[in-house]
Amino acid sequence: MDHVKAPRLAPSPAQISPGTILLLAAACGLIVANIYYAQPLIGPISQSLGLAPQAAGLIVTMSQIGYGAGLMFIVPLGDLIENRRLVLASVALSAVALAAAAFAPSAAVFLVCAGAIGLGSVAVQILVPLAAHLAPDATRGRVVGMVSSGLMIGIMLARPVSSFIAAQSSWRAVFVASAAMMVALAAVLSRALPVRAPETRMTYGALIASMAHLAAATPILRRRAFYQACLFFAFSLFWTTTPLLLAGPHYQLTQNGIALFALAGVSGAIAAPISGRLADRGLSRPATGAAIAVVIAALLMTLYAAPGSSLALALLVAAAIAIDFGVQANLVLGFRAIFALAPEARGRLNGVYLASLFAAGAVGSAAGAWAYARGGWTLACFVGLAPPLVALARFLFSVARGRE
């Protein structure tokens, strides 16, 4: 009797070391911060470079557009090119773009540099799938959550750090310092980052074309991308508009005051490891509904009190924490879901997932500045509420139909 030869199973990944997790988390935080340094500085930057108030949101939007382009055309290369080399090239691009932004003589030059900064900052989304590759199945959600918490801390600390530096010196000093930081980070990563050579054998054109197929053939990917895009629209609108509100006549905060406000959002980073553990335990569905509801409730609470009062400021702080918590929790839940689908395509899955949400974020930033210029915080808040409400409706419909 002939014996059928059993297929060889790929060995499970060894347990990822705490040092590697810390390195990946720190690198993600430092790199992603480059996109957000300008967010609380849109007033000083636009005034310095002669950009109209209605167009001030472009300062943030351009970096998000660059980031979105990188997610579509650079991040998928993580399935094709050795990951460390790809990360180092992206970090080098960020360093050059940051240095050029620091000495930009006009708004047009700065906006081009902002796009390039966003493009190079997609290195973080090569590092996050790398963490998923290095982690065993049983703890993948927790590891991705911990690395993502570094990313979220970078986003949140970028605002107060840039505000403090600008208050002591100028907005240009922020970009000089961040360019130097990228040079130092590249030196560390070149020595310490684990090597991962993908086994995928495709042309670049076929790799990019396959992303459309992945999106069309993967309902979970489309659903998770939709939820996060809706929440990230609100997130970007909130953090683009609140510095304008706080610096305006109702609150009259200085850059240092705005920096302290931005620090409140850092606490939202605790959502990442919490949601990662919930996903590992099979609780993604209730956690997703809760994350969406938290963002909606946070925006609604800011409308309760008249702008300028102590209560209104306290509610804004609470909303900042809650929005960051909800958005980060849902992001990690999405990572856990899509990274379980096809290990060989994690770079492309991640590219599709994040490109959609950062496109929504770019629209949210622009819409927030436009709405605030025309109707103040109330109009901006109602504009920000619309997409999360749509996400909640779709989530409840999916649960009712048994698809979630």
CB of 143 closer than 8 Å to CB of 74: no
Q: What range defines the domain where residue 224 resides?
A: 18-400
How far is residue 22's CA from residue 134's CA, in Å, rounded to a whole number? 13
Residue 14 has pLDDT above 60, yes or no: no
Work out the average pLDDT over 297-305: 94
Q: Alpha-carbon distance 236 to 310, whole Å?
A: 24
Tokens of 322: 């809650």
Residues 6+ apart with CB under 8 A from 359: 64, 65, 68, 229
**What band does 52 get if pLDDT is binned at 50, 70 and 90?**
confident
pLDDT of 3 higher than 70: no
Structural domain contains residue 170? yes
- Residue linked to tokens 């209104």: 312
pLDDT of residue 5: 37
* Within a domain: 10: no
Cα 183 to chain centroid distance, Å, stands at 22
Q: Write down the mean pLDDT value for the chain.
A: 87
Reported in sequence order, the residue ranges of 147-236 that DSSP labels E, i.e. its strands, are none
Distance between CA atoms of residues 268 and 335, nearest Å: 17
In this structure, is residue 87 part of a structural domain? yes
Terminal C-alpha separation, the chain: 47
Average pLDDT over residues 182-202: 88
102 belongs to a structural domain: yes
User: Cα(321)–Cα(379) distance, rounded to whole angstroms?
Assistant: 21
> What is the total count of domains within the chain?
1
In a domain, 4, yes or no: no
pLDDT confidence of 75, banded at 50, 70, 90? confident
Q: Is 9 a domain residue? A: no
Q: Mean pLDDT, to the nearest integer, of 69-95? A: 91
Concatenating the DSSP letter of every residue in 289-305 gives: HHHHHHHHHHHHHTTSS
User: How many Å apart are CA 320 and CA 337, to the nearest integer?
Assistant: 26
- The percent of residues above 90 in pLDDT, for the chain, comes to 43
31 within some domain? yes
Please say if the pLDDT value at position 273 is more than 70: yes
Joined tokens for residue 190: 């070149």
* CB 322, CB 295: distance < 8 Å: yes
- Report the CATH number that the domain containing residue 223 is assigned in CATH: 1.20.1250.20
pTM (2 decimals)? 0.77
Per-residue pLDDT reduced to its tens digit, 145-173: 888 788 878 887 887 889 889 988 999 99
Residue 5 within any structural domain of the chain: no
Minimum mean pLDDT among 56-60, 294-298, 315-319, 376-380: which range?
Answer: 56-60
